[in-house]
Structure 1
Amino acid sequence: MRERLFPRTFQTVPAARAYTRDTLTTWDVTDRQADIVLCVSELATNALRHGVPRGRAYRLRLLNFSCCVRIEVHDSGPGRSRILGRPHGNGLLIVECVSDEWGVLPRRPGKVVWAEFRAHE
């Protein structure tokens, strides 16, 4: 497991992508790397737009299991992440289409939005 806190600024999204790429390379995970990085970008952006209150940060956690890689974005904001069908709200639709599974877990305060990626066989 690797994790890192990122401050509440949109400039951290490229840093979150780079952190993910570096971690996956260290773990020698090459399969689905582009999908994983895309979903980190979408979840980090979603957390910044809707979940991270002023003065707070979001946590990116990366987990490497024998079956899959799991990404988690933790925020301390209220509300639940869900697909709303808005014209500019396609981030979670992308995550749903690209990942094998995704979901939202409650956290105090806030929530954890996660996605899992199994290796293609």
Structure 2
Amino acid sequence: MLPVRRTDRSEWQLTDLIDDIELRASELATNALLHGVPPGRESAVRLDLTDDLVRLEVRDSGDGQPEIQHADESSCSGRGLFLVGELAADFGIDQHVVGKTVWASFKRPARP
């Protein structure tokens, strides 16, 4: 497993996006652990920063294609990918030879 580099939340100047990114990271990582990681394999979470965007990626080694569900009011689950897709600037799934990467991107606030 690769070491995790912890950064100060203000280092990337993303204070306005922290809650949104953390919520989506939690949702995508939970989905990967519940549905995408076979026993004995790993998943990974990655953030990339460009001038305009922050891209959150969660990669797992499982088969299958995540599906956006439209849960009704009585459903206890099934809304996560729908919410990630609706609240991110862009959202997608990249298939790999082994596994997939589910990603969401966020527009960075204008720099001061």
Q: TM-score, normalised by structure 1?
A: 0.76
Q: Percent identity?
A: 40
- Tell me which stretches of 4 or more aligned residues in structure 1 moved more than 6 Å: none
Gaps of 5+ in 1: 7-18
2:84 match: 95
TM-align CA RMSD: 2.1
Counting matched residue pairs gives 104
Give the Å deviation of 1:66: 0.5
Structure (1 or 2) with the larger CA radius of gyration: 2
Deviations 1:59-94 (A, max 9, x none): 111100111100000000000112123431111011
CA distance in 2, matches of 1:102, 1:109: 20
* Cα separation, partners in 2 of 1:105 and 1:39, compared to 1, 3 Å: same
Q: Pick from 89, 98, 112: which aligns with 1:109?
A: 98
After TM superposition, the structure 1 stretch with the greater mean CA deviation from structure 2, 81-90 or 64-73, is 81-90
* Cα separation, partners in 2 of 1:35 and 1:100, compared to 1, 3 Å: same
Give the Å deviation of 1:35: 0.8
Q: TM-score, normalised by structure 2?
A: 0.82
* Cα separation, partners in 2 of 1:120 and 1:27, compared to 1, 3 Å: closer
Q: Pick from 27, 35, 43: which aligns with 1:58?
A: 43
